[in-house]
């Protein structure tokens, strides 16, 4: 039973730029550079046949290629910070990244999966936190809050697999779905 999620792979140079942010912060477990990605729709542990149905539904998505940039840092969890993330900007001006996420959600629902319980916010998870010091995280955000990468083009989105039942990397690409060349 695979644990799946759809997402966008990041170019190697973007992942390397993000890796320099991995500062010593108490309680932070930094994501391995090769596993940095943008999640579109978390699916979870599903049967192989359902995974095949999902891949078929995702293959029907037709959208143009995306032009993105990683910019800014933030945290999820309020005072009990659980995640340090980098923001994602859609530079296309048409909202195609959000539309891609919506269509991933529709594809999941079309095969009978429950609606996602989380509001989707485009981000790259950099670190997961346990018992971190608020001051250290605030310093990191202050030092790198204006962080930004060069823009990059996204030519496909993928269905990733994680370790069954527990999640986490290393992540593998199960299937890939091309995005069109124009709007």
Q: Which residues are catalytic?
A: 37, 123
The CA–CA distances, whole Å, from 130 to 1, 41, 76, 141 equal 28, 24, 12, 17
- Which residues, in sequence order, are bridge partners of residue 37? 9
The CA–CA distances, whole Å, from 141 to 47, 74, 120, 138, 145 equal 40, 7, 22, 5, 5
Strands 152-154 and 123-129: unpaired
Quick count: other Cβ atoms within 10 Å of Cβ 17? 19
């Amino acid at each position: 039973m695979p644990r799946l999620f759809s997402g966008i792979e990041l170019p190697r140079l973007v992942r390397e730029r993000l890796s320099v942010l991995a500062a010593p912060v108490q309680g932070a477990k930094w994501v391995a550079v090769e596993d940095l990605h943008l999640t579109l729709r978390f699916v979870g542990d599903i049967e192989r046949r359902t995974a095949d149905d999902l891949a078929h539904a995702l293959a029907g998505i037709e959208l143009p290629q995306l032009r993105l940039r990683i910019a800014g840092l933030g945290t999820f969890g309020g005072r009990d910070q659980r995640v340090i993330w980098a923001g994602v900007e859609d530079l296309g001006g048409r909202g195609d990244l959000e539309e891609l996420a919506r269509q991933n959600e529709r594809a999941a629902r079309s095969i009978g999966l429950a609606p996602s319980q989380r509001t989707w916010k485009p981000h790259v998870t950099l670190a997961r936190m346990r018992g971190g010091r608020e001051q250290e995280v605030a310093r990191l955000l202050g030092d790198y809050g204006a962080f930004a990468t060069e823009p990059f083009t996204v030519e496909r989105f993928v269905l990733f697999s994680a370790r069954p039942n527990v999640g986490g990397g290393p992540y593998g690409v199960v299937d890939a779905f091309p995005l069109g060349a124009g709007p």
